[in-house]
Amino acid sequence: MPQVMNRPEPEMIAAILAGDIQLYHELIRPYERSVYVMALSYMKNETDAEDVAQEAIVRAFRKLSSFRAESKFSTWLISITLNEARTRLRRQVLVRMESLDQLPDEGNGLSPALLRDWHEIPSEAIERDEVRKLIQQAVDRLPDIYREVFLLRDVEELSINEAAEALKISIPSVKVRLHRAHLILQKQLAPQLRTVNRTPKRRLLPWL
């Protein structure tokens, strides 16, 4: 139904609230992956992540009348997803929760891996299960406050403002956390990816 899928979101939301509730299927479709990835970032296993994603999406439907158009629907939905995941984790007492707006310690001298000769993107590497697992594990190991910012900004491509809004933290906090996530991942992954990518065929980065 392309004519339905092309309808502007505010119009779809108004129609759903007016009673055309089946439209919710179409409203939610573009965000299924984002919701799942954010849920997975907390729950660490696919089954729990799927439960959280489903619950968040259903909860968003129940709360749709409280959605205010000052923010984007996607940002609002991600915020609900994160809340759902955190609530579930608190109930399960699985992890230590960190303050929502706790600024990272900037003074402990985190430095990246000092590399030479890593100007090429390992384009074939992503096709290898081993590499995907390395990346997933590295992201999983990030402290919560860095992982959620990294996923929102670099994986789900929210803007800095949207990430700040979804996480209810300040814009400077988003920037600091994102930078530290980059340095941690670079230090951990770059040497490993350089090692596993010893293939003869390589593609140069387009900007070089």
Partner 1 sequence: MVIDCKHVWNYISDFIDGALPEEIRVTVQKHLDHCEICSAILDSTRNIIILTADDRVFELPVGFSERLHKRIDLELMRFAP
Site residues, partner 1 (CB under 8 A): 19, 21-22, 24-25, 28-29, 32-33, 36-37, 40, 46, 50, 53-54, 57-58, 61-62, 111-122, 125-127, 131-132, 135-136, 139, 150, 154-155, 157, 175, 178-179, 182-183, 185-186, 189-190, 193-194, 205, 208
Identity of the amino acid at 69: A
| Nearest-angstrom CA–CA distance, 113 and 188 | 8
Minimal distance, residue 45 CB to partner 1, in Å? 11
Q: Residue type at 38?
A: M
Which one, of 63, 92, 89, lies nearest residue 76 by Cα? 63
Do 181 and 111 meet the contact criterion of CB atoms below 8 Å apart? no
Pick the closer one to partner 1 by CB: 1 or 208.
208
Please state the closest distance from residue 129 (CB atom) to partner 1, in A.
10
The region, left, alpha or beta by phi > 0 then psi within -120 to 50, assigned to residue 109 is left
Choose between 96 and 201: whose C-beta lies nearer to partner 1.
201
Q: Shortest distance, CB of residue 93 to partner 1, whole angstroms?
A: 26
Nearer to partner 1, 96 or 177 (CB): 177
32 burial (CB, 10 Å; 0-12 / 13-18 / 19+) is exposed
CB of 96 to partner 1, least distance (A): 24
